[in-house]
Chain A
Amino acid sequence: MTRRRSGLLLLAAVLVAAAPLVLPIKGEFAGSDDQAKAAIAATGYLPWAKPLWQPPSAEVESLLFAVQAAVGAGFLGYVLGRHRRVKDGNGGD
């Protein structure tokens, strides 16, 4: 697959992800995991265990999610960058 096609596929993925923010969609964009949690709580169920540790604020939580994504993207980029494209006449190491 050419770089151009990869670029187009990436662009399509970004458009799919961004479309809901542009389209006239009503909603608070809450997390589906939290919505399921609320639906369970609405049945009167009381959780019997709590997380051992919780991020103290939404800021710290978003920091940790960003760290998770950064670590993953960093390693992925390292692997892809370490190896040259075979077609470029170099099989990498």
Chain B
Amino acid sequence: MHIMEGFLPVGHAAAWTAVAAPFVFAGGRRLVRQLRARPEDRLTLGAAGAFVFVLSALKLPSVTGSCSHPTGTGLGAIAFGPPVMAALGTIVLLFQALLLAHGGLTTLGANVMSMAVAGPWAAWAVWRLAAGLGAPRNVAAFLGAGLGDLTTYLVTSLQLALAFPDPAGGIPAAFAKFAGIFAVTQLPLAVAEGLLTVVVINALEARGLPLKAKA
């Protein structure tokens, strides 16, 4: 889901940066407020950030014969709500843009929107919906994390389709092209991310570590 440095036209890069900035600032403020109000959440928040660090570094093979990586943002979104993930996800994306030449500063806004905003919100919404419909906690967390992962890659596909519409088929054809690269590859990875998220949530809860949001 990383759009590489310079690979969005200037106007698109600026627009996504403008859209992402309020989410990151609000998330940062929420993070600081939460740490002040509940210092005991420090370790769990760090664990949520660490989970994003691990999972977004793992490039896994997929059934399409290509590789991709999970995002790890669903765990924190479920445990603390989506806003803080905008801040934690941005830290990871900055690290990758500056030290790994993976992603970029000009495309940071677009990548933040897909990985640190859309994915976490989708994960949280699916998790709440599934839990509200009576799904067991583990199933709800699995669905939330998995579909949140998938959402991130669909948003990236949409961002690229908007920037590079197909000369004949326009934006829909371009979306199909980019989603063809990302979405199918991502399906088994989303399953793996869902499973890992369930394991880590249960491991944290078994240790009595506070998860702010409850299903």
Q: Which residues of A line the B interface, CB within 8 A?
A: 1, 6, 9-10, 12-13, 16-21, 23, 25-33, 35-37, 39-40, 43, 45, 47-55, 61, 64-66, 68-69, 71-76, 79-80, 82-87, 91-92
* Other A-B pairs beyond A55-B99, A66-B57, A72-B51, 9, CB < 8 Å: A1-B206, A16-B191, A17-B60, A29-B65, A32-B66, A45-B9, A47-B4, A68-B56, A75-B50
**Chain B binding surface SS class:** helix
- Does B59 interact with chain A (Cβ within 8 Å)? yes
Interchain CA distance A28-B65 in the complex, whole Å? 6
Question: Quick one: given A30-B67, A49-B106, A86-B206, are A16 and B138 in contact (CB under 8 Å)?
Answer: no
Q: Which residues of B line the A interface, CB within 8 A?
A: 1-7, 9-10, 43-44, 46-47, 49-68, 95-102, 104-106, 138, 153, 156, 160, 164, 177-178, 181-182, 185-186, 188-189, 191-192, 195-196, 198-200, 202-204, 206-209
Interchain CA distance A10-B199 in the complex, whole Å? 7
Interchain CA distance A64-B53 in the complex, whole Å? 12
Interchain CA distance A37-B6 in the complex, whole Å? 10
A-B contact pairs, 11 of them (CB 8 A): A25-B63, A25-B64, A30-B66, A32-B185, A39-B177, A47-B6, A50-B6, A72-B50, A72-B57, A75-B53, A87-B206
Residues of B near A53 (CB, < 8 A) are 98-99, 101
Taking a contact as CB atoms under 8 Å apart, the answer to whether A12 and B195 are in contact is yes
Question: Quick one: given A25-B63, A36-B182, are A79 and B50 in contact (CB under 8 Å)?
Answer: yes
Interchain CA distance A27-B50 in the complex, whole Å? 31
